[in-house]
Structure formats: C-alpha cells, structure tokens
Amino acid sequence: MADDPRELTLYVQSKRAVTTFYHPAPTTATITGAHTTLGGAPSGMGESDAVGDDAPVFFLSDDQSRCAALVEEVATHRGYRVRVLDIEKVGRLERLVTEHLRGVQTFPVLVSPTGQRLQGCEQFTEENLAAFMPTELKSVRAMSYLKIKGGDMDHIRQLLEGLPEVKELHFLTGDWDILVVLEFPPATANKRRVLDFVTERIRGIPQVLDTSTVVPEYSVTKFLTSA
C-alpha cells in the first residue's frame, strides 16, 4: 500500500456465480488484475477478470455495493482516494499473508495507510466515514468565551443565534457563561476581522460584559461539513 495518507484500501469479498445461464460478452472494460480505483469500481465489481464465454462471473452483494458507493461519495468530498481490492480475485497466499486482513471475519473492510480499520457493513455510516477521513476546514472558525451579566438568557440566546457567523452556542458554568463557535468565509476571513466582529457585534450586546476569543491557525474536522 502506498504511504500517501489520503489513499485508502477498501477490501470487498465478491461471490462467484454458480449458474452458467449467463456469460458476459467479451469486453475490455474489466478490472485490471485484482483491484481498481473508486470512481468506476462499484459498477465494475460484477465483471470478470477474464473475457470469453468460459470466464467466471463474480458479483458483489448489494450491502457491499452500498458501502463502496458511500465510501466513494465521502472520499470524493473530502479529497481521499480509495483503491478497491476484491479478495476473491487475488492469490490464496496473498490473502493469508495480508496483515491488514488478519482476524477479519466480515467484509467490506476499509484500511488506512496506518492500519486503522473500519469493518463490516454496519460500520459504514456517513458519521464513521467522516471520522475515518478527517479533512481540513475550508472556512475559518473561532471560539469566543462570553461573560454575561444578569438578564433574560433566552433573549441573549436569540440575539446571538440571529448572527449568521454564530454556528454553535455552549452554555457553561464557571468563569465564563457561554462558548460561541464562529464561522467565516475563507475569502474574507482573517484574525483581525474575527476580532472586529467579536468586539463590535458580540460586545455590542448590552448583556455581554467581557469576551475572550481564540482564532486557530489551522483546523481539521472529523465531522461532516459542507465546507
């Protein structure tokens, strides 16, 4: 496997058709060897490695096809590449010595270059795949702690929620009362603009006594995001 941290391997296990009723027509659009790259992989997984009337027919279950399609969707969105490897089309010895599949009982299995694994159809959810493929945030986010003087907290909440840059509100106990998560478009965002927004818009709310803002230099998310 390549050392590229953004290249993953999806191991699937196809089934060999037992019927001789249908044989695919000779075609050059078959999987080369035992693997391909996502983008055309799910549709190709039902084709044979060889051509001709005597070629065996392999097919992938709907469950595994769904997982492959979901992996492709998330990987494309997050800038990852996924190599698909059908273990039924590689040599027996290679299957036995493949460290990444040691102890695997169910397929598909998604493997990262570091050996991290996601195994079994039930694990292939958008949330799990997003965590498996963390990506850089393209927008600029900042966190601001707010100290609030006595007042109608619901009203303060409504004022903050009315600001488009406010994405999350977390109510705290201790020295600070609210943690606000802010988000800005990357084209116009910089540290000064973030602090200008906090001092002018948030500190402009009469009930806000003080603020303390953190602007990260670099951010990565495991969560699903449209950024």
3-class DSSP state for residue 198?
helix
**Residue 218: its pLDDT value, please?**
79
By DSSP bridging, strand 220-221 and strand 135-136 are antiparallel
Task: Give the pair of three-digit tokens for residue 129.
Answer: 């795949």
Report the C-alpha gap between 30 and 51 in whole angstroms. 8
Looking at the 3D structure of the chain, how many domains does it have?
2
Of the two residues 99 and 127, the one the predictor is more confident about is 127
Residue 54: domain span: 7-133
Quick check: is 212 in a domain? yes
**Residue 20: its pLDDT value, please?**
59
Quick check: is 96 in a domain? yes
Q: Which of 133, 164, 179 is the last residue of a domain?
A: 133
β-partners of residue 35 are 85
Q: Which residue has the tokens 């619901």?
A: 154
126 and 185: one domain?
no
Half-sphere exposure of 141 (CA within 13 A, CB side): 15
13 and 38: one domain?
yes
Taking residues 141-146, report their average pLDDT: 95
Quick check: is 1 in a domain? no
**Residue 24: its pLDDT value, please?**
59
- Determine the straight-line distance between the first and last CA of the chain, rounded to whole angstroms: 29
Is 0.75 surpassed by the pTM of this model? no
Helix residue ranges, H only, 39-143: 41-44, 62-78, 92-97, 126-132
**CATH number of the domain to which 146 belongs:** 3.30.70.920
128 and 141: one domain?
no
**Residue 40: its pLDDT value, please?**
38
Q: Which of 99, 133, 167 is the last residue of a domain?
A: 133
Number of neighbouring beta carbons within 10 Å of residue 15: 12
**Which pLDDT tens digit goes with each residue over 11-64?**
999 988 776 565 556 544 333 334 444 543 443 444 444 445 566 778 899 999
Quick check: is 19 in a domain? yes
121 and 151: one domain?
no
State yes or no: cis peptide before 108, omega within 30 of 0: yes
178 and 103: one domain?
no
Q: Which of 108, 133, 158 is the last residue of a domain?
A: 133
Report the C-alpha gap between 131 and 220 in whole angstroms. 11
Taking residues 80-95, report their average pLDDT: 80
Q: What percent of the chain has pLDDT over 70?
A: 75
25 and 107: one domain?
yes
**CATH number of the domain to which 86 belongs:** 3.40.30
16 and 112: one domain?
yes
Instruction: Measure the CA angle with vertex 107, ends 224 and 78; round to 5°.
Output: 25
Quick check: is 227 in a domain? no
Report the C-alpha gap between 75 and 196 in whole angstroms. 36
Quick check: is 187 in a domain? yes
95 and 148: one domain?
no
**Which pLDDT tens digit goes with each residue over 171-216?**
999 999 999 999 998 766 688 899 999 999 999 999 999 999 999 8
Nearest to 201 by CA among 216, 180, 172: 180
